[in-house]
Amino acid sequence: MRIDLHTHSTVSDGTCAPAELVVAAAKAGLDVVALTDHDTTAGWAPAAAALPYGVTLLPGVELSCRWHGSGSASTGIGLHLLGYLFDPAYPPLVAEMDRVRESRERRAERMIELLKADGVDVSWPEVRALANGATVGRPHIAQALVRLGLVDSVNAAFQSEWLGARYRVPKQDIDVFDGLRLLREAGGVVVFAHPKANRRGRTVPDEFIVELAAAGLFGLEGDHPDHDPAEREHVRRLGAELGLVVTGSSDFHGGNKTVRLGECTTAREAYEQIVAAGRGAPIVSPIMD
Ligand code: AMP
Ligand code: FE
Ligand code: FE
Ligand code: ZN
């Protein structure tokens, strides 16, 4: 079985609509695809409605979280939690996702102000139109910079000072222990996304992952395009030590990133453990008629 447990659609910062994504998953030879947009479950219904024969949808989310316990910097360390099979209507979780999406909009406006102050001709209405109702992220601002011819690609915008440092404004993330608790209260299964991906910024120490495991974390994402072989092996060993499931996934973002669907995959046993533990929503298989 080919199983990819982390993908994004146009309801956040991917470039395939949810319905296109599940069709692309079938074409890529996947048996299972999880839809894990940033801070929203808006893609679940359109993805489920378009599910082609042979593909199972694992409904999920990628929550923008922050760990404040690092001691050093007062701002803490940003990190992402993947939640699967939770109740998407659980009010306290819905409220937190609404809050963080709202904060992403204010933050995008602020980043655009900083760009404009330096003479870059971007506007909030333009970026909002590029996002088209989705969870606004830096990739949308990057798209605007590509349009202006200031960078060649979204990836180049991240590699350069544009979005990496100079114009980067923090968003009001969810406290990581709150995020974990809310997903679990909603019946969900929680996997720590790309825990060692230090190309994205500072990563957390293993001692904190031990704390998360004690608080009910279910798994760690090991095989991820942003992890090198040593990091993947480290995550596998840590997962085995802590009794956590270890997953693999592409973190597909369509044309906003260069990774392909199914570039990294999850073992069937790990997937089945996740499905057995999820209580807030069912997996979705296509209706045959
Ligand atoms: P934000 O969530 O708004 O802070 O933006 C971070 C998002 O940008 C991540 O979730 C990735 O989807 C995306 N991203 C990070 N690095 C890159 C890159 N090098 N190329 C394209 N997208 C990236
Ligand atoms: Fe993203
Ligand atoms: Fe992520
Ligand atoms: Zn992701």
Q: What's the pLDDT at 54? A: 94
Q: What's the pLDDT at 288? A: 63
Cα→Cα distances 76→135, 137, 204, 264, Å = 22, 20, 10, 29
Q: Whose CA is nearest to atom 11 of ligand 1?
A: 139
Query: Given ligand 1 and candidates 138, 162, 168, which is best to mutate, with the most ligand atoms within 8 Å of its CB?
Result: 138
Q: Whose CA is nearest to atom 14 of ligand 1?
A: 139
Q: What's the pLDDT at 102? A: 97
Ligand 1, residue 13: give the atom nearest the CA: 12
Phi then psi for 74, rounded to 5 degrees? -70, -20
Q: What's the pLDDT at 198? A: 82
> Is 38 within 8 Å of 267 (Cβ atoms)?
no
Query: Given ligand 1 and candidates 141, 168, 257, 258, which is best to mutate, with the most ligand atoms within 8 Å of its CB?
Result: 257
Q: Whose CA is nearest to atom 20 of ligand 1?
A: 155
Q: What's the pLDDT at 101? A: 97
Residues in the chain where the model's pLDDT stays below 70: 71-74, 164, 288-289
Q: What's the pLDDT at 199? A: 75
Q: What's the pLDDT at 71? A: 67
Give yes or no for residue 15 CB within 6 A of ligand 1: no
Count of other CB atoms within 10 angstroms of residue 5: 28
Could you tell me the two tokens for 193? 């996304």
CA 205, 243, 89, 136 torsion: positive or negative?
A: positive
